[in-house]
């Protein structure tokens, strides 16, 4: 499964066009940041209860997101996964 936040949301810095989040088979996560960065940046994260805040912190520290934009982008990226988990029950 994959979720994406695009630049048209107004949350991403000018040099980032999209952030994609993928769930991995081993329970981890991969974020792919596309834009004026040259090659897309890939970030790999393990699983864990604080993963959403870890991704938000990475967006802020590595890519220049504001605190609000990083937190809101991470929330939007995880929302489809949370909804899918609820539908399975």
What tens digit of pLDDT does each residue of 78-87 get?
999 888 877 6
| 30 in Cβ contact with 44 (< 8 Å) | yes
| DSSP-assigned letter for residue 83 | H
Give mean pLDDT, residues 23-49.
89
Query: Domain map of the chain by residue range?
Result: 2-88
pLDDT at 82: 84
What is the DSSP pairing of strand 41-45 with strand 29-35? antiparallel
Tell me the pLDDT tens digit for each residue of 51-74. Answer: 999 999 999 999 999 999 999 999
Q: Is the pLDDT of residue 17 over 80?
A: yes
Q: Is the pLDDT of residue 20 over 90?
A: yes
Q: Is the pLDDT of residue 88 over 60?
A: no
H-only helix segments in the chain: 51-63, 67-88
pTM for this structure? 0.88
């Amino acid at each position: 499964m994959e979720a994406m936040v695009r630049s048209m949301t107004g949350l991403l810095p000018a040099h980032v066009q999209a952030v994609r989040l993928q769930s991995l088979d081993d329970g981890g996560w991969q974020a792919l940041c596309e834009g004026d960065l040259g090659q897309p940046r890939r970030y790999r994260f393990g699983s864990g209860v604080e993963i959403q805040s870890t991704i938000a912190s990475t967006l802020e520290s590595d890519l220049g997101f504001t605190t609000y934009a990083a937190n809101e982008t991470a929330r939007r990226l995880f929302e489809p996964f949370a909804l899918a988990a609820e539908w399975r029950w």
